[in-house]
Amino acid sequence: MLPGLSEPALFAGSPPLHRRLLQLAAALGAGLPLYWVLGPQPAGWLAWLAPLPVLLLALRSARRDAAWMTLLAAVVGLSSNVAYFRLLMPLPAVLAVIAAKALLWLLVVPATRRLVLRYRAGWTVLAYPLLWVAIDTLMAAFLQDGNWGSLAYSQADYVPVLQVAALAGVPGLLFLLCLLPSALALLLAGGRAYAPAAAASLLLAVTASAAGAWRVQDARAPDGPLAGLVAIDDFIGPATPPAQAQAVWDQYARHVAQLAGQGARLVLLPEKIAVLAPAQAAAVQQRFQALARSTGVWLTLGVGVQDAAGRRNLAWLFAPDGTAPVSYQKHHLAPPERDFLAGNAYAVLPVAGRAMGLAICKDMHFAALGQAYGAAGAGVMLVPAWDFQRDAWMGARMTVVRGVENGYAVLRAAREGLLTVSDAHGRVLAERASSAMPGTTLLAPLPASVPVAPWAGWLGPLFGWLCVALGLPLLFMGRWRAGRDAAPHSAGGPAAPVSR
């Protein structure tokens, strides 16, 4: 037992109104760091410290005060998503989603507070990361949008730290990211008694980063054939004038020919360039099949096809020998395409001397699909995509993380997003923003894949579900008797009740 935590008494000496105003200001201030890490383009360095003010407020406040301050700070932080969510759903739904996410903070932080104050033991430093990983794992498994925006993805640009995902997936990365603020909160609130737990947490973070840096130093430089990526933001919809639609298709064809002339052996176009009737789809297929043959490139493009069976979001892969294309149907559908039919088949085939897999945009937000392609031997993933501008970084980096988890390179061409080439270590080797007509192109050599140990694919999911198994009992541990907080001991002092 560690006696370092004294009775929570933040602002206790102030008059009631003054105290409430100070608490309000403190909660708003604690929400500001969260604002910069809970949105679609988080500040990765700040993610290591952003939860610290909320945890400190909770540990130094009475139970009810801790609850409402945590909720307010979470709402402030999550409000960074409002503009993005409004692109996807009406305002009432946006508010409901933010409220639901804020309630998760109201679940995790008070539970962490309860365990720390009740047991006053070094092991309670694990409560906060365990609970968040458990929630993140459940979201990834059961929600239609998975764990989109998980705090773990904030580290996608920090390549040494990102290597944790190669060993323990997103669950391991999120655990490490949450462990440090938990340790610092206990150290600052409880004093030297928690120094060993804080030191062990810091040592783990430093060791993981150093091991990741060592792993990356042996990464091979890209040595594969050249690949071209193309994106034109203009969408061909039912209301698009025929002349404009033709201009977009012609521009794509010109880009393919130009990239082939520059040495590209494969060219990737974005998702759902148009939604087509069967006759239109057949004409587009014939045109680009002939283009792949005449330019000698492997060519991937995304289209929507609507027939009597319904609408499907497809990726076609054309071979340079002019054979019929391989067709892949998107598994995980974005909110605007809930009326599309979901696919369930995978596609891995030899392309330009490499085993390559096909996926579409949101598919790569799901670790299970990424793992299935890794198990099937994919060395490169070809990912046509369509983002919403505000989520361009997040969409691209979630896909990068799939490559680290499974040891493959990723080519991702997104309309209203980014054209990205990343290797199996998560290094973004080339990237450029998409644009409207005449569009954007990117030419880069294919990165190498990295052999992945057979156990690596299941270690991450296993760790996540282990956190679920441990996290559920934590929610019920340390409940105060008779509906009131049990008192934490002050250093050397007797127990005293904490005010409600």
CA separation for the pair 462, 168 (Å, rounded) = 9
Label the pairing between strands 354-358 and 380-386.
Answer: parallel
List the one residue out of 484, 448, 472, 410 whose CA is nearest residue 107. 472
CA separation for the pair 418, 404 (Å, rounded) = 19
Strand, coil or helix: 317: strand
What kind and span of H or E run contains 234? none
Return the structure tokens found at 56. Answer: 């400190």
What kind and span of H or E run contains 303? strand 298-307
Rg of the chain in Å (alpha carbons): 25
Low-confidence ranges of the chain (pLDDT < 50): 1, 480-500
Return the structure tokens found at 209. Answer: 């980063």
pLDDT (tens digit, 9 = 90+) per residue, 172-222? 999 999 999 999 999 999 999 999 999 999 999 999 999 999 999 988 888
What is the residue-wise DSSP string for 128-172?
A: HHHHHHHHHHHHHHHSTTTTTT-GGGGGTT-HHHHTHHHHHHHHH
Which pTM does this prediction carry?
0.92
**What does the chain come to in residues?**
500
CA separation for the pair 11, 499 (Å, rounded) = 13
| Res 14: pLDDT | 74
In the sheet with 348-351, reading across from the earlier edge strand, the strands are 348-351, 354-358, 380-386, 409-415, 418-422, 428-433
CA separation for the pair 58, 36 (Å, rounded) = 20
CA separation for the pair 129, 84 (Å, rounded) = 27
C-beta separation of 392 from 427 below 8 A = no
